[in-house]
Amino acid sequence: MDLVNVIVQGILLGGLYALFAAGLSLMFGVMRFVNIAHGDFIVVAAYLIFTAVLMLGLHPFAGVGLVVLVMGLAGYGGQRLLLNRVLGKDILPPILVTFGISIVLQNSLLEVYSADSQRISPGAFETASLRLSEEIAVGALPLLMFVVAVAVIGALHLVFYWTALGRLLRATSDDPEIVPLMGGSNAHAFALATMLASAVVGIAGILMAMKTNFDPTMGPSRLLFAFEAVIIGGMGNLWGTLLGGIILGVAQTLGGYIDPGFQVLAGHLVFLLILVLRPQGLMPKGAV
């Protein structure tokens, strides 16, 4: 029964990893663009909710809307003012620019908040649990993270396949050269995609801040988990990203069950195994 409990906890952890990865998958699906600073933006969102709680006295859940709004607007503005200028057939300029952004963000956070790790308390959610049986109990916060991940990915799916915005983004993904001929704007479409991705990043950062300690330098490790979840599931496939996050989460919890020092390594090994056996991912798709 302990093993079942470990697997359940891994599935719930996979929800958080799916949120880490959803924005990355979305941007790749629309723009074929890999954001090296993605993990650092997750940390920025965590510090934004930390600041809202510390300075404004907000409950973490009350600050969700504020953080998501700030992250979304920042994503739209950053894409229009900076990243659109370096997008093109050559993938190197966007990688170099976002790598530079990553360094700037890390050092800025170190300057403002210091290197001390921080964490915010979600109140009663931190210790509350739902008992499924005598041996299995599910924490309220991990369960919330998984439900939010499914809800966010489901909402993105509805946006992409049932709205005018989704049609614009899918058209931009399929053939960006034809969109201007139909009266659309690639620059605006790319910025809207980044805005959606940044809003998801904001949600991921808030939940991460509630679950674990964070510091200014942990962005690259969050980026690595996001990359692994995206590649396991299939680049550009949102539901594949959820599957990838679950597989990564279960692999890590099973590794930790075997040996606490094996937890992160187990996830990396499963990622490499899937990459060797199925390099296109488990649910490959060309667009979101």
DSSP structure class, residue 118: B
* Position 187 confidence tier, pLDDT thresholds 50, 70, 90: confident
The CATH number linked to 146 is 1.10.3470
State the pLDDT at residue 287. Answer: 43
Q: What is the pLDDT of residue 153?
A: 94
**CA distance from start to end of the chain:** 38
Q: Which domain holds residue 122?
A: 2-126+133-277
In a domain, 160, yes or no: yes
Give CA 234 to chain center in angstroms: 15
157 in a domain, yes or no?
yes
Per-residue pLDDT tens over the stretch 69-104: 999 999 999 999 888 888 877 778 888 999 999 999
Q: Residues 253, 256, 257, 260: what is their CA dihedral angle, to the nearest 10 degrees?
A: -160
Q: How many domains does the chain have?
A: 1
> Residue 190's pLDDT band (boundaries 50, 70, 90)?
confident
For the chain, percent of residues with pLDDT exceeding 70? 93
- Mind listing the pLDDT tens digit for each residue in 265-277? 999 999 999 988 9
Question: What is the per-residue pLDDT across 106-117, written as a single tens digit (0 to 9) for each?
Answer: 999 999 998 888
pLDDT of residue 288: 45
**48-74 pLDDT, tens digit each:** 999 988 887 777 888 888 999 999 999
Confirm if 49 and 182 have CB atoms less than 8 A apart.
no
Helix axes 2-31, 164-174, angle to 10 degrees: 70
Whether residue 1 has pLDDT greater than 60:
no
Residue 177: inside a domain = yes
Q: Is pLDDT above 50 for 177?
A: yes
In a domain, 282, yes or no: no
Does the residue 284 lie in any domain? no
| Predicted TM-score (pTM) of this structure | 0.91
In a domain, 266, yes or no: yes
Residue 21 lies in a domain: yes
Q: Each residue of 119-146: pLDDT tens digit?
A: 888 777 777 777 777 677 788 888 999 9
Name residue, tokens 């997008």: 87
The mean predicted confidence, pLDDT, of the chain is 86
pLDDT of 239-267, one tens digit each? 889 999 999 999 999 998 888 888 899 99
Instruction: Establish if 285 belongs to a structural domain.
Output: no
The tens digit of pLDDT for each residue in 3-27 reads: 888 888 999 999 999 999 998 888 8
Tell me whether residue 187 is exposed, middle or buried, using C-beta atoms within 10 angstroms of its C-beta: 0 to 12, 13 to 18, 19 or more.
middle
